[in-house]
Amino acid sequence: MIETAHGPLHLPAYFPDATRAVVRSVDSRDLEACGVQGVVVNAFHLSTHPGAGLLKRAGGVHAFMGWHHPAASDSGGFQLMSMIRENPRYGTVSTRGIHFVDADGTRERTLFTPERSIRLQFDLGTDLMICLDDCPSPTASRGEAEASVERTVQWAGRCRAEFDLRLSARTKDTGPRPLLFGVVQGGYDPALRRRCAEEILPLGFDGFGFGGWPLTPAGDLAEEILALTAKLVPDPLPRFALGVGKPEHIVRCYQMGWRIFDTVLPTRDARHQRLYAFDAPRLDQVDVRATGFYHFVYAGDKKHTRQTGPISTACDCPCCRNYSLAYLHHLFDVNDTLAYRLATLHNLRFYTQLLELVSKL
C-alpha cells in the first residue's frame, strides 16, 4: 500500500488513461463506481489544452476533474517522440530535450525539457510523477538504443534535481509528497537494460516504469526483457508496467513483479463495441492462470438483439446490474452516446475485477 495526498493506493492497481483529464465517455463518479483506484493524465497534452496555468489556478488536475483519489502523470515524452518518429518535420531530439513544432499551426519550435516536464507535473499536482525518458522506436538499432539509454539516464538526473527543487519550494503542507518514478530503457537488449537500471537506481526514485515497447515486433509480450527489467528493480520499489496491456499480459507481468498497469485497451475496445467477459458465471470461479479465462462479447452482434441477461453474470458494474445486453446492443444500434458510457463502465470494471483476482495469486 502506498500513502498519497489523495488517499491510499493498494497494489496491484489498474489506472485507466485520462490523457486529457477525462477517461473518455465516463466521469469521475463513474470511475469510483467501477472500483478504479487511480488515473493517468498526460502532462504534455494538458499543457496545451487547457494549459498548465489554468490547471494550476483550478487547484490541480484533481480539483479540475473532480477526482479525489490518486492520479499519476505521464511526462509527455512518449507522445512527442512518437509524433516526431512518424514525421521528422515535427521536430528533433537532442540531449537538451525534445524540440518540436507546435501542431497548432503557429509552426513555432518549442523545447520540451526534463525540467519542464517536472514543472508541469507539479502544476497538475499529481501523486505519482514520471521522469521524461527517451523512448526509441521498437525497430531501433543497437546504436539508437544505446543513445536512448544515455539520454534517459541524463534526463533522469535532471528530473530528479528539478523534482527536489520544487519539493523544497513547497510552502503548504499538503500531506504526503508526490512520488517520482524513473524509467528503465534499453530496448530488447539485456545489457543495455542492466546499464540503464544500474545508472538510474542510485538517483533514488520511488519506483520504476518499464520504458519502451512491452511487445515484440511480432506483437507478443516481450517476456524476457520484462522479467529482466522487473528483477533489476529491487523490492519493495513499485514497478509500473507502462502500456501493458491485454488481460493475460497483466497476469504474466504481475507474476514477474509488476504492480501498476495502465492501458487504453478496455476504454478503446468499449467504444468499438468489444466487451470483456470472464469465462465463468461467477467471479470466484475464474482462474486467471488458465488460458482463455475470458472472451469477447461483441455488443453490436445481431445475436444479442434478444439477450435479456447482462453482458456477464460475473460482473457487478452499473451496466450489468441495471441493463441487459439487448439494451446495450440497441443503444449502439441507434447510435446513442450512452452506449459508450455503459460499455466503458463494463470494461473498466472487468479490469478492476481482473486486478482483484490477480492480487490473490
Assess 317 for contact with Zn ion (CB under 5 A).
yes
Residues 17, 74, 133, 134: which is the catalytic one? 74
Answer whether the bond into residue 245 is a cis peptide, omega within 30°: yes
Active site residue 269: no
Which is closer to Zn ion, CB of 195 or CB of 349?
A: 349
Nearest approach in angstroms of CB 316 to Zn ion is 7
Closer to Zn ion by Cβ: residue 82 or 322? 322
Give min distance, CB of 159 to Zn ion, in A: 39
DSSP codes joined into one string, 16-77: -B-TTSS-TT--HHHHHHTT---EEEEHHHHIIIIIHHHHHHTTHHHHHHT--S-EEEE-SH
Who's near 220: CB < 8 A, 6+ residues apart? none
Identity of the residue numbered 273:
Q
Min dist. Cβ of residue 276 to Zn ion (A): 9
Binding range to Zn ion, per CB under 5 A, among 46-54, 214-222, 292-300, 338-346: 338-346
Listed ranges 11-19, 202-210, 232-240, 346-354: which one lies at the site for Zn ion (CB under 5 A)? 346-354
- Smallest gap from Cβ 320 to Zn ion, in A, equals 3
Task: Based on the shown chain and the rule CB under 5 A, indicate whether residue 265 belongs to the binding site for Zn ion.
Answer: no
Half-sphere CA count of 305, side-chain side, radius 13 A: 4
**Shorter beta-carbon distance to Zn ion: residue 34 or 192:** 34
User: Chain centroid to CA 267: how far?
Assistant: 12
Cell of 222: 516481450
Cα–Cα distance between 320 and 343 in angstroms, integer? 10
Nearer to Zn ion, 62 or 346 (CB): 346
The span of 7-15, 38-46, 138-146, 319-327 binding Zn ion (CB under 5 A) equals 319-327
CB of 23 vs Zn ion, minimal distance in Å: 16
For residue 320, state whether it binds Zn ion (rule: CB under 5 A).
yes
Among residues 131, 197, 288, 315, the one that binds Zn ion under rule CB under 5 A: 315
Question: Which one among 294, 346, 347, 358 touches Zn ion, defined by CB under 5 A?
Answer: 346
Minimum distance, C-beta of residue 7 to Zn ion, in the bound complex (Å)? 25
Options 62-70, 134-142, 166-174, 340-348: segment touching Zn ion (CB under 5 A): 340-348
In degrees, rounded to 5, the angle at the alpha carbon of residue 200 between the alpha carbons of residues 196 and 203 is: 175
CA-based R_g, the chain, Å: 21
In the complex with Zn ion, the residue whose CB is nearer, 154 or 324, is 324
Nearest to 278 by CA among 167, 175, 358, 161: 358
Q: Which of 79, 36, 140, 43 is nearest to 351 (CA)?
A: 36
CA distance 160 to 181: 9
CB closer to Zn ion out of 157 and 318 = 318
- Of these residues, 30, 123, 133, 262, which one is catalytic? 262
Question: Minimum Å distance from CB 315 to Zn ion?
Answer: 3
Rounded to an integer, what distance in angstroms lies between the CA atom of residue 87 and that of residue 321?
46
Distance from C-alpha of 224 to C-alpha of 228, rounded to nearest angstrom? 6
Identity of the residue, 155 or 351, whose beta carbon is nearer to Zn ion in the bound complex: 351
Per the annotation, the verdict on 316 as an active-site residue is no
Query: Of 53-61, 124-132, 222-230, 309-317, which part binds Zn ion (CB under 5 A)?
Result: 309-317
DSSP readout, 240-289? Answer: EEET--SHHHHHHHHHHT--EEE-SHHHHHHHTTEEEEESSSSGGG--TT
Catalytic residue numbers, as ranges: 74, 262
Q: Which residues bind Zn ion (CB under 5 A)?
A: 315, 317, 319-320, 346
